[in-house]
Structure 1
């Protein structure tokens, strides 16, 4: 694809304004190899003899610029002739609907049948500077460089290439992905990751077709080659239709955010950020410390840079050593500031800058330096640029330059660019480039660990999930709490009962007042209709049963009433209400969400997320990432919660989501994090019955990697079994503390 010796242009022509002419002319202008026009109606195009068919071209790469139906025929003919690489520029495929979708499906089938590498359709084309390949209908050939660039927008490609000339940014390979009928972003990441000439992979993506494959591939590539992308389309369209709290929180963009992070891919919010990152990563070494030193001749910009360092999570302002401060004191005038940020003051010449740079870069607490300068009559920007390049080369630490000027910056910017040092007008952008380097260093140093596999009762889960086959609704509530027992997640003692006498008998076996909740898959928010009673004494259980059922039937006469849950109370005030949820993203698979729970979970939206399965380190990071983390650690004199139990619960539920693709959404809300464990109060599950096998196959699951089973583990606290072995819970995912429509205890028990 990127190093052909012979390129065929199918649809080559001399007609002004045509795609076929533009591609042919671009190839003839720069390509090192042979260009073969394919046009049965002409003897030659732009001086090159034509052949009648792509099969006669003997090409390594065929560029297709003919009408849609003919384009499909051309791909088939190329495959039959042994031409394995094609770029289909033609539009009129999946993006147009109808017959276009069928044509695109046929392209995909042909690519698989003949093992073809096909870019497009609806593509601007591809370019590769090492061989002068410009197989695009864009106006310009990019300058050479070490950045490989992909884009789902052809217009963005042409705009970037044109802009890059002015910015002195070069490219190795450029691909306009088009509709991605065969070759997609994952293929390019894999290929460019193996390319010694590609230092950085950047991209503009509107979608990722196979998120799980992308994560697996990019995780390997980013260990050696940085990947930076813009992912457009940040809106949470469709989240409002989610059936659970987690579904509403985990919008589409949240899944991309987590997926890209898991893949080790750096995400940019704008075109400027994308190429700021690319320039830094392609030209600068990685810092070995997070500390940043600021060297400036202007106080204001120095403060701006210092603020930008403070905003970064990967950087910190270096605390210069006493030896460094003493050396700066000797090198700088008395009026200068020798502490960080180092202000060499406005009359500084190049040598003063050089001395300050050499001294700060020699400090062991400094991992990178920002050099800022406003123009003065005592300073030559060209000489400063040469000094910065010399010092950086000797120190082998990353440096970002901020030369704040207009035309006078053009020449020094070229000097710095030749040395791989990025130059900016804005101090925050200079710091941002160093932040990119520090974040990529963290990615490369990230240690991978295998998630723990617990010994669980999967057959029981399959049995419970299979109940949706007999329902019109695909949601399960507290009647499915046996799922939690099967995966070793502790639940309160309790039972779902079908009459007041049984309710009274179950309550008599539970120590203290109980919680009672209506059980109906048709009533999602039970507390709103008076379907929850808290702190019910033994003598009130039978009457409360009747009241709850009556209220439910009056509220929704057609609702299926499965009974009433009688459940042991849990003292919420002694712990923290959290949520652990699952949302299965169509691209990236199961997303595990943890955060502050209760009835206001969607309002507060204080959550962290990871892709399942989740290892222990990642689960622990989730508990520390949320803003409410101090509550878990025991803020304001409260006893700390049992974080080990919370972490294990996250891991167990992540394993559940990973092992049962039929689970579309799941909420455990609240999960009460207590000083001596964690207990799940409520459960709601949305199931895709089509994704659930008809029969249970134990051989379809991986072996456990840890001792202990779902009912014998020291962290498990199985609830009492009801008639079907089920336990209590509430499909609302709502707290039952202090919200009873019947009565509540003073202790705030749930």
Structure 2
């Protein structure tokens, strides 16, 4: 695929399937293009000499176009795309449906479309797409009923119907767009391609979108991180309540559904996620037009006590905080406001405030070095002119170069004032919580702009040894591995207790005699996942008792499951759990984002407390450190209630090393180290038990 610049700025657009038939998509697309497109529209249809007054050509080869819109039936759409490729057309929008969304023959048809695009190096939007728009060139290559107004937002959506609804609303609200794309089935071009393009597009101030899924999560993260250095991205991602991932055998798989992967992946990408369509546009309009704040402290100036309290509550629910004014500011408020007013935040200038009092108060607040942004909150009164207040708000925003949101509450009397504010890029909201939410998005993006994205540490590991251990599943009926695969951790430098797996009592005693102190003994079987539930674990076994313990463990396993595959018994150094903290480090491979790393409190409490945090791998040292800080039980790691702090550095390094292992081997579908015992600072960590699932076909 080449650059997308010509996709949005073609000189000649061929409509393959253009027609004059009333009610047809071919007619609608041609009509929309004729309306405003600055270039040339060429109808392609062997059955017409002209369409809607334009000369019609028989085939795409005669059109001499640099973009084609395909609206013919699905059975001939592939031929049309291939002929476009042969004719040298590099950009194709396939509006035709009847592809992957229908399954069966449609899915096969979509696969052939991908192959054609690859053969001719085509940029293909769709299929099953509403089309695309660019207000810069006046191009409306859709069959929607409305063209977009001009603006700085570029908008992509997997739902074409959502686009038509949004444009109808946006035209009524005077909200404009730069580019609009109906992604359709995303057979070739997907959300990542458009994020990359719009991130470099000077005409795009903010990227917004509605997505039902992301094709390649890792590629999207990389593209979005680059784009958001200059261009904010706000998305609505549907499917929050979908159970997502199928039931998994590991703790990590149970706790990490697909929604968790999207939440973490979008955050790592630097993308702001909106809860609703309203939230999407509240954030987008603020981000497209306002300066970024230097900090998160907000001043609220209001003539109404009740709404002032409401907005203060909204601040408490956000990442913002109420600004603490300097003494100079408090003195200025004392001089300007009546005695019954409130000089502290929120500043109540009282219901009889006129435009001068409102403007003076806002000027004082924005001039305070502790104030990063402001909300102008007003209810209508007989002594206040909303249009004058709007003009003052615009003037003072420009004077102080700080973001300002307006909440002029009311109905018809607000309309003219809202127009004044809107022309200056200051959104007006009836609900104070919406205004605070929009400013919160601005503060969040300000943080994203300053993020540092480090490269993951590349540890010296033994990949050959790891591959050999993973390949052992090829000779088994089960694709799960347990403690018999502890060598994986050794190959990747993750500390484990001293010990081995043995298959007879004498060997068990021999290994135990080499270990200082009592040992732990565990039955080793891929068919018995919860060993402690059947008495398959013995703790504190003295060397003299090892042989008897071995026989007892084997007997218990046979009685519990006679047909179980018993690999032996693990004899292992006993770790003092009382002096450390049991944690879990795990991974579940998400279909879109790949390996999703988990960290939390381990042992028997992992599924009870569900005190876990996640990152998409590969995980950097900074991200691994953040994971150890985010769980609610983090104080246990750092020495709560008189306990010694554990070796955090060892935990952080283990997270990174496991991240490298699961990144190196896509065949690993799930992996748990549970528990990873973190002992007092300086003494390190030990991975006591593991469980993983392997896809043999990926080895």
**Secondary structure of 1:87's match?**
strand
Deviation at 1:514, TM superposition (A): 2.2
Q: Which residue of 1 aligns with 2:211?
A: 205
Report the equivalent of 1:19: 25
Question: Partners of 1:37 and 1:236 in 2: how far apart?
Answer: 44
**Count of matched residue pairs:** 691
Equivalent residue number for residue 568 of structure 2: 563
Contact 2:57 2:63 in 1 (8 A): yes
Gaps of 5+ in 2: 1-6
Cα distance, 1:674 vs structure 2: 1.6
Q: Give CA deviations for 1:411-445 in whole Å, capped at 9, x if unaligned.
A: 21111111111111111111111111111111110
The answer to whether the Cα contact below 8 Å between 1:86 and 1:119 also exists between their aligned partners in 2 is yes
* Distance (Å, rounded) in 1 between the aligned partners of 2:678 and 2:424: 54
Aligned to 1:110: 116
Measure how far apart 1:19 and its partner are. Answer: 0.7
Among 615, 619, 633, the residue aligned to 1:614: 619
Which deviates further from its counterpart, 221-230 or 23-32?
23-32
Aligned alpha-carbon RMSD (Å) = 1.5
* 1:220-263 residue CA offsets vs partner (Å, 9 max, x unmatched): 11111111111112245353421211111111121122221222
Which residue matches 1:488?
493
Q: Is the 8 A contact 1:295 1:370 kept in 2?
A: yes
Q: CA deviation at 1:140?
A: 0.4
Is contact 2:637–2:646 with CA below 8 Å preserved after alignment?
A: yes
Q: Does 1:684 align with 2:691?
A: yes
Would you say the 8 A contact 1:168–1:414 is kept in 2?
A: no
Is residue 2:478 matched to residue 1:462?
no
List structure 1 segments (4+ residues) > 6 angstroms apart after TM superposition: none
Q: State how far apart, in whole Å, the 2-side matches of 1:157 and 1:369 are.
A: 32
Distance 1:3 1:522 in 2: 61
Which range moves more in the overlay, 25-34 or 433-442? 25-34
CA distance in 2, matches of 1:501, 1:104: 62
Question: Which residue of the other structure, out of 237, 251, 258, is the alignment partner of 2:243?
Answer: 237
Matches within 5 A, 1:504-523: 504-523=509-528
Q: Secondary structure at the match of 1:172?
A: strand
Q: Is 1:456–1:488's contact at 8 Å kept on the other side of the alignment?
A: yes
| Equivalent residue number for residue 85 of structure 1 | 91
Please state how far the C-alpha of 1:103 moved relative to its aligned partner: 1.5
Q: Distance in 2 between matches of 1:52 and 1:304?
A: 65
Q: CA deviation at 1:75?
A: 0.8
1:112 offset after TM fit, Å? 1.4
Q: Distance in 1 between matches of 2:479 and 2:108?
A: 32
Report which stretch shifted further, 668-677 or 537-546: 537-546
Residue 218 in 1 paired to residue 216 in 2?
Answer: no
Give the C-alpha shift of residue 136 in structure 1: 0.6
The SS at the match of 2:692 is strand
Identify which range, 491-500 or 147-156, moves more after superposition.
491-500
SS at match of 1:423: coil
* Aligned residue number for residue 391 of structure 1: 396
Q: What SS does structure 2 have at the residue aligned with 1:600?
A: helix
Match of 1:649 in 2: 654
Q: What residue number does 1:733 align with? A: none
Aligned to 2:480: 475
Distance 1:3 1:488 in 2: 53
Q: 1:624 aligns with which of 621, 625, 629?
A: 629
CA distance in 2, matches of 1:222, 1:540: 63
Contact conserved, 1:199 with 1:225, CA < 8 A, in 2? yes
Task: Confirm or deny: 8 A CA contact 1:235 1:252 kept in the other structure.
Answer: no
**1:268-667 aligned within 5 A:** 268-313=274-319, 315-667=320-672
On the 8 A contact 2:523/2:531 being kept in 1, the answer is yes
From the superposition, tell whether residues 240 and 43 of structure 1 become closer, same or farther in structure 2 (CA, over 3 Å): closer
For residues 630-678 of structure 1, the C-alpha deviation after alignment (integer angstroms, 9 at most, x for no partner) is 1112222222222111111111111212222222211001111221322
Q: Which moved more, 1:391-400 or 1:401-410?
A: 401-410
TM-score between the two structures when normalised by the length of structure 2: 0.96
Q: Which moved more, 1:141-150 or 1:667-676?
A: 667-676
Residues of 1 paired with 2:696 and 2:558: CA distance?
28
Residues 192 and 201 in structure 1, CA contact (< 8 A), matched pair in contact too: yes
- 1:145 aligned residue: 151
2:244·2:259 contact (CA, 8 Å) conserved in 1? no
Shift of 1:602: 2.3
What do residues 116-150 of structure 1 show as CA deviations (whole Å, max 9, x unaligned)?
Answer: 11111100011111221111111100111010000
| Partner SS state of residue 523, structure 1 | coil
Aligned ranges for residues 246-257 of structure 1 at < 5 Å? 246-257=252-263
Q: State the distance in 2 between where 1:435 and 1:520 align.
A: 52
2:34 matched residue in structure 1 = 28
Distance 1:374 1:17 in 2: 48
Residue 139 of structure 2 is aligned to residue 130 of structure 1: no
Correspondence for 1:260? 266
**Using the alignment, how far apart are the partners of 1:652 and 1:639 within structure 2?**
25
Deviates more, 1:594-603 or 1:380-389: 594-603
8 A Cα contact 2:70 2:96, kept in partner: yes
What is the rounded CA distance, in whole Å, between the counterparts of 2:542 and 2:303 in structure 1?
Answer: 75
- Matching of residue 66 in structure 1 with residue 72 in structure 2: yes
Of the structure 1 ranges 547-556 and 497-506, higher mean CA displacement relative to structure 2 is found in 497-506
Cα distance in 2 for partners of 1:269, 1:257 equals 12
CA distance in 1, matches of 2:438, 2:84: 45
Q: What corresponds to 1:748 in structure 2?
A: none
Secondary structure, in 3 states, of the residue corresponding to 1:110? helix
Task: Report deviation, 1:398.
Answer: 0.6
Structure 2 residue matching 1:671: 3-state secondary structure: strand
CA distance in 2, matches of 1:598, 1:411: 63
* CA shift digits 1:257-315 (9 cap, x unpaired): 222122211111211111111101101011011211111111222122222222223x2
* Partner of residue 185, structure 1: 191
Per-residue CA deviations over 1:305-348 (Å, capped at 9, x if unaligned) read 222222223x2221111111111111111111111111111111
* Paired residues of 1:239 and 1:249 also in contact (CA < 8 A): no
Q: Which residue of structure 1 aligns with residue 178 of structure 2?
A: 172
In 1: Cα distance, 2:463 partner to 2:82 partner: 47
CA displacement at 1:507 relative to structure 2 = 2.5
1:137-178 deviation line (CA, Å, top 9, x unaligned): 111001110100000100010011111123321001001011
Summarize deviations over 1:20-76 as a string: whole Å, max 9, x none: 111111112222222222222122222222211122122222211110122111111
Task: Give distance in 2, aligned partners of 1:494 and 1:261.
Answer: 41
Inter-partner Cα distance in structure 1 for 2:536 and 2:310: 56
TM-score by length of 1: 0.90
Deviations 1:527-583 (A, max 9, x none): 122211222233432222222111111111111001111222222222221110112
Which residue in 1 is equivalent to 2:674?
669
In the alignment, which residue of structure 2 is the partner of 1:729? none
For 2:13 and 2:455, locate their aligned partners in 1 and report how far apart those are by CA, in whole Å: 46
Match of 2:374, SS state, is strand
